[in-house]
Amino acid sequence: MRVLLVKPHPPLPLSKFLMDFFLHLEPLELEIVAGGIPAEDEVAIIDLSFEQDPFEGLRRKLVAMQPDIVGFTGFSSQAAVVRELAVLTKATLPAAVTVVGGIHATVVPADYAIPEMDIIVRGEGGTAFREISRRFKGGLPLHAGPAILSPRDPEFAALAKADPPPYPKIEEIPLPRRDLVDRSRYFVVWTASDEKRVPTIFPRTATIRTSYGCPFKCSFCVVHHVMRGQYLQRTPEDVVDEIAQLQEDHIYFVDDENFINNERMTRIAELLLARGIRKKFISWARSDTIVRHPELFALWKKAGLSMVYVGLEAMTGERLEKLNKRTTEATNRRAVEILRELGITLHASFMLDPDFDEDDFAALKKEVKKLGGAEITFTVFSPSPGTELWEQHKHNFIKDPYVYYDCMHTILPTRLPIRRFYQHFSDLYGIVFRANPLRRNKVKFPLRELVTVISRGFKYVFALRALYKEYEPEKP
C-alpha cells in the first residue's frame, strides 16, 4: 500500500510570509499519522508550503508515486484549499482514496462533505489512519464509528453534528516518523541567548508534543471542545527518550500548555539534566503557572529553557475576564518579573479586540514599551469554529471566517475605521522591533542575518499597514 500525506500551503500571502521568514515548523501532525502506518507500506509526506506552485507540485507527486491513499491535514483557514487539492487528486488519480483530518475536520466535518473526499477523520489521526490502513488492506468499508466518517454514509449528518470523539489512550498514539521530511528546512527565529555571539538566529528546530489538551476553557480557544475535557500526558521517560533521539539542538514544545503538571515537568527536567541532554527549548506556559511555580522554571532554565511563550492577551482585568483567562493583571505582571529574574526570555502574546478604540491602543502601546527586551506578538481576536463565541458572532463576519482566520485579519467589524485599526497594529510591531531581545542583550550574529531581519521586519510592518486594502470594495 502506498500512502501520500499532504501538508497544504497557507492560502494568504501574509501567512506565507511569516512561515517563510520567521517560523516554519515541521508537519508533526502528519509525521505522527505516518507513525501509525505499518512499516511494510510506502509512506511519503509532501509539504506544499515549499512549492512555488502547490497544485502543480502535488500533481507531479501524485503522478510519480501513484498512491493508493492520499491524506490531507489543515487548519480552518486552509479548508477551501484542502477541498481544491482533493478535487485535483481525484482528477489525477480517480481510484485514489482521499482522506482529510486535522482541527477543522474534527470541528466542522460537514465542510469536507464533497464528492471528491472519501473519508473524514475526527480527532486523533495516528490511530485512525492505522485503522483505515487495516480496513483498506482487508477490503472492508473504510468508515468506522464516530472518528472515521464517510460523506456517503446515511448516518453522516448525525455523526458530523455530534461532539468530537474522545482521544485514545496516550500510549496508543504513534511516535512521529521524522525521517520523511527534509529537516534542514524547518526553523524558528531564536532571539533568546545567554551567549554574546551565536552562529545563527535561524537554527534548525524540531517540534515535540508531550501532552494533548488543556484543562482551561478560554473563550476564544477550541481545544477544550475538541478534547472534550481530556488532558493526556506522556510519561517523563517517554518524552526524554524522544528528545534524546532528536538531531536538532533547538526544540519547540507544541503542547497547548506544558507546565500544568508540576511534578511531571519537574521529572522531565531532572531526567534531561541527569542524562546530560543539552538542548535549547521554547515552551508555552500560562502566567498563573509561572507565578505558582517559579522554582519549576528555575529548574527548567538549568535544563535549557530559553524562551517561554505566554498568552498574556491583555493587561486589564476587564479584558482578561471577557476572554475567560482565569488570571489577573497582577498575575501577568508578576509572571513577567519572574521570567526576567530567571533570565528566561519572554515571548508575550497580546490579543487585539476589533472593538479597540484610540485609548485602548494607546494603553497597549504603553504596556508594550514596559516589556522591552521581550519578544512580543499580536493577534486579532477571532472566534474559533466550534466555540460559543463563533455562534455568537457568526452573523457579524465581514470576511470569509475560514479563509481569513489567520489571527491577523479581523473577521469582525472594527470600532475604528479599518485603516486606522491596521495603522495601530503595524505601529505596535514598530515598537517591538526596536526593543527586541537580541538588541537589548547585545547578542552578535551574522551580518547577513541582521540585514535579513531588518528587511523582513520592515516588510511585515508595511504589509500589516496595508491590510486595510483587502477590506475595500472591489472596483467595478
Higher-confidence residue of 41 and 441: namely 41
Identify which of 33, 222, 26 has the alpha carbon closest to the alpha carbon of residue 119. Answer: 33
Please tell me which residue, 192 or 218, carries the higher pLDDT value: 192
Q: What is the pLDDT of residues 424-444, one digit of tens each?
A: 999 999 898 887 787 777 789
pLDDT at 407: 87
In tens, the pLDDT along 340-372 reads 999 999 999 999 999 999 999 999 999 999 887
Mean of pLDDT values over 447-474:
88
Calpha distance 387→408 (Å, rounded): 19
Q: How many CB atoms lie within 10 A of CB 354?
A: 19
Q: Is 97 part of any domain?
A: yes
| 311 and 373 housed in the same domain | yes
CA distance 61 to 80: 21
Q: Are residues 122 and 208 in the same domain?
A: no
Residues 299 and 373 placed together within one structural domain of the fold: yes
CB 385 within 8 A of CB 441: no
Q: What is the pLDDT of residues 149-199, one digit of tens each?
A: 999 999 999 999 999 999 999 999 999 999 999 999 999 999 888 888 899
253 pLDDT more than 60: yes
- The answer on 272 and 364 residing in a single domain is yes
- Do 129 and 218 sit in the same domain of this protein? no
Within a domain: residue 75? yes
Same domain, 339 and 434: yes
Beta carbons of 71 and 101 less than 8 angstroms apart: yes
- Residue 218's pLDDT is what? 75
Which of 128, 161, 194 is the last residue before a domain boundary? Answer: 161
Domain closes at, from 161, 194, 228: 161
> Would 181 be classed as within a structural domain?
no
- The three cell numbers of residue 246 are 532528536
Angle at 156 between CA 131 and CA 102, to 5 degrees: 55
Based on the fold, state whether residues 143 and 266 are members of the same structural domain.
no
Domain contains 174:
no
Average pLDDT over the chain reads 93
Q: Of 253, 249, 277, 225, whose CA–CA distance to 391 is shortest?
A: 225
Domain count, the chain: 2
**Same-domain pairing of 262 and 404:** yes
Closest CA to 221 of 378, 15, 389, 410: 389
From 161, 195, 222, give the residue that closes a domain: 161
pLDDT at 453: 86
Q: Which residue has the cell 486535522?
A: 102
Q: The CATH number of the domain where 327 resides is what?
A: 3.80.30.20
pTM: 0.93
Alpha-carbon distances, residue 8 vs 72, 78, 101, 182, 393 (angstroms): 7, 7, 12, 16, 27
Q: Is residue 267 part of a domain?
A: yes
Residue 170 belongs to some domain of the structure:
no
- pLDDT band for 475, please (50, 70, 90 cuts): low
- Confidence band of 13 (pLDDT split at 50, 70, 90): confident
Q: Is the pLDDT of residue 93 over 60?
A: yes
- My answer on whether 113 and 196 are in the same domain is no
If one compares 389 and 114, the residue with the highest pLDDT of the two is 114
Query: Domain holding 6: CATH number?
Result: 3.40.50.2300
218 and 118 assigned to the same domain = no
Q: Clarify whether residues 293 and 337 are in a common domain.
A: yes
Same domain, 54 and 129: yes
Q: Quick check: is 73 in a domain?
A: yes
| 404, part of any domain | yes
Domain span at residue 391? Answer: 186-471
* Tens-place pLDDT, residues 398-424: 999 888 989 899 999 999 999 999 999
